[in-house]
Amino acid sequence: MLPVGDDLALALDRVRFAEAAGITPDDWQARLLRSTAPRILVNCSRQSGKSSTTALLATHTVLYEPDALVLVLSPSERQSKELFRKVLATYRSLDRPVPADAENALSLELENGSRVVALPGKEGTIRGYSGVRLLIIDEAAKVSDSLFYAVRPMLAVSGGRLALLSSPFGKRGFFFAAYEDRANWDYYEVPATDCPRISAAFLAEERRSMPESWFASEYLCQFVDDITGAFRYEDVMGAFTPDVLPLFAHAEATAAAVGPITPAVRPLFAKPAEEFHL
């Protein structure tokens, strides 16, 4: 157990908490840790510290808020476990300030009634959780829209927080839709060139070894066109105009009922890239 004075300081300030766990947060990490926003959107380079920072947030939440449920979701159980392992490492490095009722590879349950659970990345196997205080979606650009829309209602009644973390993966899906709507999120964007732990020499080597668009996506936070798309996103969106009247009389009514065309809506039958012979 930490001395009471320290413990209060750590409870009140997540940056002090991070430091006690051995991490000196970068500026953006400190801002994220201190944020109280209900919706957090993290569009940052690979290896910038997205998972580590939200793992600190998750650990702080369950230690200091009783009966808090924190869920970690990603495209696969392996990736969810990776973030969860950072939670366990923080918890252990602080000498387990609140004792655990159960501690295993996928969940940590504390005596104060709080839990962190790492979820598998498959819709059918995720049971309904309610009262979620914090939902972290790691590698969010690669989580399917159907999975996202399946887990989102878990925040509805509890009014819990949502954190989406990823580097971009094309102009599609809910992560890109959130990016387009970033004015309504607590938004973080950190290219690798701003990360003190990623050297210019490493980046130069990476840039040489991959296509420019891939590099821009992985390291420079840029949403580049989906390689399976025949048209550029800007061209498609630019083709919509309110000046052109609908061809069919019922089209307007349909548009009113269906709502605006959104990049979050994906084709039902998308062909994998290798099936295209252009």
Ligand X SMILES: Nc1ncnc2c1ncn2[C@@H]1O[C@H](COP(=O)(O)OP(=O)(O)O)[C@@H](O)[C@H]1O
Per CB under 6 A, residues contacting ligand X are 23-26, 29, 44, 46-52, 197
- Picked from ligand X, Mg ion, none, the partner binding residue 26 (CB below 5 to 8 A depending on kind) is ligand X
Pick between residue 141 and residue 263 the one whose CB is nearest to ligand X. Answer: 141
CB 134 within 8 A of CB 160: yes
CB of 242 to ligand X, least distance (A): 40
CB of 102 to Mg ion, least distance (A): 25
Secondary structure (DSSP) of 121-184:
S-GGGPPP--SEEEEEETTGGGS-HHHHHHHGGGGTTTT-EEEEEE---SS-HHHHHHHHTGGG
Q: Which residue is nearest to ligand X (CB)?
A: 49
Pick between residue 217 and residue 263 the one whose CB is nearest to ligand X. Answer: 217
189 DSSP β-pair partners: 43
Pick between residue 45 and residue 51 the one whose CB is nearest to Mg ion. Answer: 51
Question: Using alpha carbons only, how large is the chain's radius of gyration in Å?
Answer: 21
Q: Which residue is nearest to Mg ion (CB)?
A: 51
Pick between residue 57 and residue 263 the one whose CB is nearest to ligand X. Answer: 57
Pick between residue 84 and residue 185 the one whose CB is nearest to Mg ion. Answer: 84
Query: In 3-state terms, what secondary structure has residue 149?
Result: helix
- Picked from ligand X, Mg ion, none, the partner binding residue 160 (CB below 5 to 8 A depending on kind) is none
CB of 83 to ligand X, least distance (A): 8
CB of 31 to ligand X, least distance (A): 12
Phi/psi for 190 (5° steps) reads: -135, 105
Site for Mg ion, rule CB under 5 A: 51
- Between CA 18 and CA 13 the distance in angstroms is 9
Phi/psi for 110 (5° steps) reads: -105, 160
